[in-house]
Amino acid sequence: MQPILLILSLLHFFKAPPLPPETECAFCNRTVLDSQKFYEDDLVIALWNYRAALPGHSLIIPKRHVERFDALTDQESLKIAQVIKKVDAAARQVFNSSAYLLYQKNGREVGQSVPHVHFHYIPRQFGDDSLISLLFNICTLSLKKNLTPTEMGIATNKMKLAMESPMITFKHVDLANRAIVHKWLKEPHVAEWFYGQGLQNTLDHLDAFLNRASSDVKYWIAFDSGKPFAFFITSPVSKPADPLSKFCNEDGPAITLDMLIGNPDYLGKGLAPNLIKQFLLTEFPTIKEVLIDPEASNEKAIHVYKKAGFVKLEEFIPSHSPNSHIMMRLNMRHLKKYAFKPYDKESPALFQKEKNRISSLIKQDTRIEHVGSTAIPNLGGKGIIDIAIASDNIDIISSELQKIGYEFRPTGSTPTKLFFKEPSGTFHIHLMSPTTTEWKNLLHFRDYLISHPEEAKQYQELKKTASEDNPANGTKYRELKDPLIRKILDSK
């Protein structure tokens, strides 16, 4: 049966439907573009396909009306390739994709339905290995239902914000980056604190690292969408022989850390605290503690490290410097996303205060509800106050929330729900239509646990165990909770 379906699908794929009697190309129609696009520059537009073969199905087109690929200018071809890479980076954030299919048709004889060059980008997640299913979804594309305006708005907003957000990655320094590290170490804002024997040690150990000599010291560069901008140094604390062991308070592995923002364009943006957290959680998820020792007079660095979660231990004078330094320590437990916290009786009042603030600033018809663990008396959890907002004006509310300080987070969003975080992390907002299943489930789950305290207690113990066993693994944390959640939702 599958081969027959595949053959019929391929026949459909290569047969272009009759062109409608319209005078304007669909991809030159501003109404179409404004409702579907999530990226635009001087040469290229990226838009959401109004019929999606799979989640994330996008189109990348030249802005100029060009019917065939061979008619593109070299500049347009290059720009399209660059935008495809950007779309893929955004899709990896939004859909956690690990691979993608890219295809483009030239001419009605091979099924080109719109006489304007367009590349289909279709992302796939790791494990989605059914080739027949993939081809069937693509080949029967024209038979699928169109996305509704609300679905289209949610999809384009997610990709737009993901395209605009920085893509931070970390890599070991290599020979190609040696010169830029040396340049950064000479920048005035860096040279003030890297000097004398300390600077020489850094340079010597860096060369040993690049020459693959035996060295426990590792050197890293942080990249923003491929652009280098920060520098990290790490080394293990060899317990118990290492003199630094006396500053550790936990059994298990520990490291020392040093970091600097090298590119002056990135100074003063408040990036360092979160950058440190992201680096440690990404590259050292199993480490128990981290030590760092800024100069005692470097008040800015000390402030940054405090914001990242480090605490002061004691003042001392290291062997490589005549000046006093402050030893600071970070317990990695404090960075873990899924740390269990007891119920805070102040949560309802904090929710009401934030609800009032949102209502006063957003002049739209909305329903705002307190959901999640903090909405249920005596139920512990992550301590985050979850706020559910229902509205028929998703796009407008999304824009207004961002104006009042909330950050849109593509990775927490779904096709029917937009997710936002307040910078301090105290409040999370889930924005959706009041007709969605997610809205109904959130309210039912809350109300059920409020009226069934014994099951609320059982859910609390489950959350506590899940957070202790999987402090930084969101997938495992949710998997442990899902059976009970599903049982409660099925009780509707």
Question: Is 303 a catalytic site residue?
Answer: no
Q: What is the CA radius of gyration of the chain?
A: 27
Nearest to 365, CA basis, from 333, 406, 397, 335? 397
Cα–Cα distance for residue pair 49/36, rounded to 1 Å? 7
H/E stretch holding 383 reads none
107-113 long-range Cβ contacts below 8 angstroms, 24+ apart: 107/68, 108/16, 110/14, 111/13, 111/14, 111/15, 111/16, 112/16, 113/16, 113/17, 113/19, 113/142
Cα–Cα distance for residue pair 240/253, rounded to 1 Å? 11
Around Cβ 163, how many Cβ atoms within 10 Å?
A: 20
Beta carbons of 121 and 404 less than 8 angstroms apart: no
Entry field: residues in the chain = 492
Beta carbons of 373 and 390 less than 8 angstroms apart: no
**Helix, strand counts (H, E) of the chain:** 15, 17
Beta carbons of 72 and 186 less than 8 angstroms apart: no
Nearest to 410, CA basis, from 145, 95, 18? 95
By DSSP bridging, strand 311-316 and strand 97-103 are: unpaired
Around Cβ 247, how many Cβ atoms within 10 Å?
A: 19
Beta carbons of 418 and 402 less than 8 angstroms apart: no
Backbone angles phi, psi at 324, to 5 degrees: -70, 140
How far is CA 65 from each of CA 20, 120, 388, rounded to the nearest angstrom? 18, 17, 43
- Taking the CA atoms of residue 465, residue 468, residue 472 and residue 476 in that order, the dihedral angle to the nearest 10 degrees is -30
Cα dihedral sign for 427, 429, 434, 439? negative
33-40 long-range Cβ contacts below 8 angstroms, 24+ apart: 35/149, 35/152, 35/156, 36/152, 36/156, 37/156, 38/155, 38/156, 38/157, 38/159, 38/160, 38/163, 39/83, 39/86, 39/87, 39/159, 39/160, 39/163
By DSSP bridging, strand 254-261 and strand 218-224 are: unpaired
Q: Where are the alpha helices (DSSP H) in 24-175?
A: 30-36, 74-95, 131-139, 149-164
Per annotation, catalytic residue among 57, 118, 205, 370 = 118
Q: Which residues are catalytic?
A: 118
